[in-house]
Structure 1
Amino acid sequence: MKKIALISVVTFLLLLSCSDDNGTTTNSDDVDPGDTTFTLQNAFPNLSFSRPVDFQSPGDSSSRVFVVEQGGIIRVFNNDESEESSDVFLDISSQINTTANEQGLLGLAFHPNFESNGYFYVNYTPSTTLSVTSRFQVSSSNPALADPNSELVLLEIPQPFTNHNGGQLAFGPDGFLYIASGDGGSGGDPDNNAQDRSNLLGAILRIDVDVTSNGLNYSIPANNPFLGQNNIREEIFAYGFRNPWRMSFDTQTGNLWSGDVGQDEREEINLVTSGGNYGWRLFEGTFCFSGDCDNDGLVPPVFEYEHNGNDQSITGGHVYRGSLTPSLVGNYIYADFIDGRIWGLNAFSSNPEDTLLINSNLNISSFGVDAQNELFICAFDGSIYRLVEN
């Protein structure tokens, strides 16, 4: 596979020396995996899951972790490899449309004050034509489990087709909720949704879930880039994405990273900044897809790779900040869903390079981290894995 580094001068300077929108400062304390070899270890060999699509830690004082199953169930269990059973934390399978391959329960995020308020947020598709972001709360009678009747719908996004729903949720270091939204589906973004800021498709959204205003169950942060602009949805933080299926914040720098699934030519990795236009459907990565091929004002990907064989669908990951796999510290770990290969990208340099870590031969749907920032890998064989240095 041909991999192409595309970090711009501006992005490079941002990575090395500048503060981002959240006031955090990046650095270059990367580590090169070099010749280290890796194996995959089943992190919970006694447990099995149905199409796991997200792995989250609640950020409280417990040792619990949560796995989201696409069919509408969130399972909870102790972060212990000897764990033999999981509990159903939330079951909204009766509210989920599962007739389409890319729809279902797609994302989970815990409120930064979850330990005190019991709030958590999910993204799901109740029908083939709608995506919903809702807040739930833990049960008053059993705070270890969710109250399925506590749903408060925050945001609904009409979906013209059944694919490219996005679905990742994440709280940023600024305390706001970020929502990944795909371009609405089909092929080639036929309605040009990702460049049309009058809708919420093909964008990363940012909302304040702690304040309500203007009849909404949320408010628009005062520093959102398109606040007060006519015919533009103020929830938009950045736009021009095809399907930013998985995104994550670097816990050390606060930078927002996203993989964006390509069409026919390229898969890309983006460093998402406020107000950025990431090019789709004008460009697929740096490949001109439509229009006059003028890339003026567009933010190029930090990295991209060409479709080659079965490398056709990026699964975005995390910048590793744990301690158990020291050779990966500072590397962005990602995979290809179709091929199953996992890479580490050292983007904190003037010449970003990736290192193939392992060919898993698995359909990897997502990555997640626990309270210690250790990395976990969700695969559609029903298991959750770790990368282990040999």
Structure 2
Amino acid sequence: MTFVLRRGVLSAVMLLTLAACQRGGDAEAAAARPAPKQTTEHRVPSELGEMRVTEIVSGLEHPWSVALLPNGEFLVTERPGRLRRVSKDGAISAPIANVPPVWAKGQGGLLDVVLAPDFATSKHIYLSYAEPGPDGSAGTAVSIATLGDTALTEVKRIYEQQPKLVGPNHFGSRIAFDGKGHMFITQGERQQRMASQELDKLQGKLVRLNLDGSVPADNPYVGRNDARPEIWSYGHRNMQSLATDPRTGTLWEAEHGPRGGDEINLPQAGKNYGWPIITNGIDYSGLKIAEAEGKEKPGLESPYHVWEVSPALSGMAFYTGHAGSSWNDSLFLGALADSSLIRLSLDGDKIVKEERLLKSLGWRVRDVRVSADGKVYVLTDEEEGKLLRLDPPAAK
């Protein structure tokens, strides 16, 4: 008996020590960090000439999204649930307080961060994240908050995916604005494939809301008892890319296929984009998707652009309005599995060429943003994730 008691005490001590180490590790991960003493730069070849890649900061834990602040600083989300400021020279703040609780398992966690269209006066930001629910369930959610120096205030959830489901994957999620007082929110079907076809569920749907989270009166399913009024389009799989073309106001969306079949859509009101009934991919097992009827079907929207081999798309940004730049009129997309930044050359809405950048560095690209002065900012999805600045090759 004495041996058992001592063994129990020893076990308890070991558990307490482990917990203390874990808390210490969490505290270390959450601590503020000074700017790096030396900037790391890479000279990387591209089809248009050599480009300069500058590491602004490293050591971010699976960063998911970056927002460019007007003062030249950055807001960065880390998937475990931290929102940080990063200075121009790479100093990392302690986590900003009052971020909503997140379900940080599998692909869940703190996801997108975007500045409100009136951020200059309101200081409002939007966050998307996996929100915990009852009995181990979770779902995509969006909150609006006022950004302070060290904390968020007036935090309010304005969107909640229903129903919440059990499972670790396919939360989306990106946020974009149309310049007309509306916001769009992408999400995944939570690996419940046919949920994306069911209009009484929000999984696998592109959602359109007013900026305060209310439902626009002209949404396509307003007034129907059998459909959620938030829905703009449906039949989507796992959307992690969304942007509005500043030249035309057209909304572009990209999503993960299964094994093959990543795609771009230009989603329109009430349209069905087919998943899982039509797809250019197969199951990860190598077998045909059980519900799939082919690559196209009357009444369902085929992809605007498709990759038969999945680069695993995440993040999207237009590069326009820079007539003197070699990258003008491009669309950038992050690629996780391909470890690259994809640049699509555009002629209007037509995709005329594809180039894959950063391949030689071998980093998973999670997000991409373009600044007003024509620089491209990239987040890498790693345990020691980086924020990069890309300077385009000199125009010829």
Shift of 1:372: 3.8
Partner of 2:196: 194
Deviation per residue, 1:160-199 (Å, 9 max, x gap): 42200012122221221211110112xxx44x01111111
**Superposition pairs of residues 56-205 of structure 1, within 5 angstroms:** 56-58=67-69, 61-78=70-87, 80=88, 83-88=89-94, 90-91=96-97, 95-100=101-106, 102-127=107-132, 129-130=137-138, 131-138=140-147, 143-147=148-152, 150-157=154-161, 158-185=164-191, 189-190=192-193, 192-205=194-207
Give, in whole Å, the separation in 1 of the partners of 2:174 and 2:351: 29
Give, in whole Å, the separation in 2 of the partners of 1:328 and 1:125: 34
Higher CA-based Rg: 2
Partner of 1:41: 53
Deviation per residue, 1:288-327 (Å, 9 max, x gap): 95354462122222211122xxx54122421212649822
Give, in whole Å, the separation in 1 of the partners of 2:52 and 2:228: 43
For residues 346 and 352 of structure 1, do their structure 2 counterparts lie closer, same or farther at Cα, with a shift above 3 Å needed? same
Partner of 1:52: 63
| Structure ranking higher in helix proportion | 2
**Superposition pairs of residues 314-353 of structure 1, within 5 angstroms:** 314-321=313-320, 323=322, 326-348=325-347, 352-353=352-353
Deviation per residue, 1:15-63 (Å, 9 max, x gap): xxxxxxxxxxxxxxxxxx9941354612415x542211111124xx533
Scaled by the length of structure 2, the TM-score of the pair is: 0.75
**Superposition pairs of residues 253-292 of structure 1, within 5 angstroms:** 253-285=248-280, 289=289, 290-292=291-293
Q: Which of 358, 377, 387 is residue 384 of structure 1 equivalent to? A: 387
Give, in whole Å, the separation in 1 of the partners of 2:344 and 2:322: 18
Shift of 1:207: 0.7
Partner of 2:216: 221
For residues 260 and 356 of structure 1, do their structure 2 counterparts lie closer, same or farther at Cα, with a shift above 3 Å needed? same
Q: 1:38–1:357: 8 Å Cα contact kept in structure 2?
A: no
Specify which structure has the bigger relative contact order, considering alpha-carbon pairs within 8 angstroms and separated by 6 or more residues.
Answer: 1
Deviation per residue, 1:249-276 (Å, 9 max, x gap): 2223222222210112211122222222
Q: 1:366–1:378: 8 Å Cα contact kept in structure 2?
A: yes
Q: 1:53–1:106: 8 Å Cα contact kept in structure 2?
A: yes
Query: Counterpart of 1:353 in structure 2: which amino acid?
Result: K
Q: 2:345–2:354: 8 Å Cα contact kept in structure 1?
A: yes
Scaled by the length of structure 1, the TM-score of the pair is: 0.76
For residues 92 and 70 of structure 1, do their structure 2 counterparts lie closer, same or farther at Cα, with a shift above 3 Å needed? farther
Shift of 1:132: 2.1
Give, in whole Å, the separation in 2 of the partners of 1:267 and 1:297: 20
For residues 316 and 279 of structure 1, do their structure 2 counterparts lie closer, same or farther at Cα, with a shift above 3 Å needed? farther
Give, in whole Å, the separation in 1 of the partners of 2:149 and 2:66: 17
Count of residue pairs brought into register by the alignment = 332
Deviation per residue, 1:137-180 (Å, 9 max, x gap): 23xxxx434335x3212222213422000121222212212111
For residues 352 and 303 of structure 1, do their structure 2 counterparts lie closer, same or farther at Cα, with a shift above 3 Å needed? farther
Give, in whole Å, the separation in 2 of the partners of 1:231 and 1:262: 28
Give, in whole Å, the separation in 2 of the partners of 1:321 and 1:352: 15
Secondary structure of the corresponding residue to residue 241 of structure 1: coil
Q: Which of 241, 246, 268 is residue 241 of structure 2 equivalent to? A: 246
Query: Counterpart of 2:111 in structure 1: which amino acid?
Result: L
Give, in whole Å, the separation in 1 of the partners of 2:350 and 2:178: 26
Secondary structure of the corresponding residue to residue 326 of structure 2: helix
Deviation per residue, 1:201-253 (Å, 9 max, x gap): 1111011133xxxxxxx321122122222311111111111000121122232
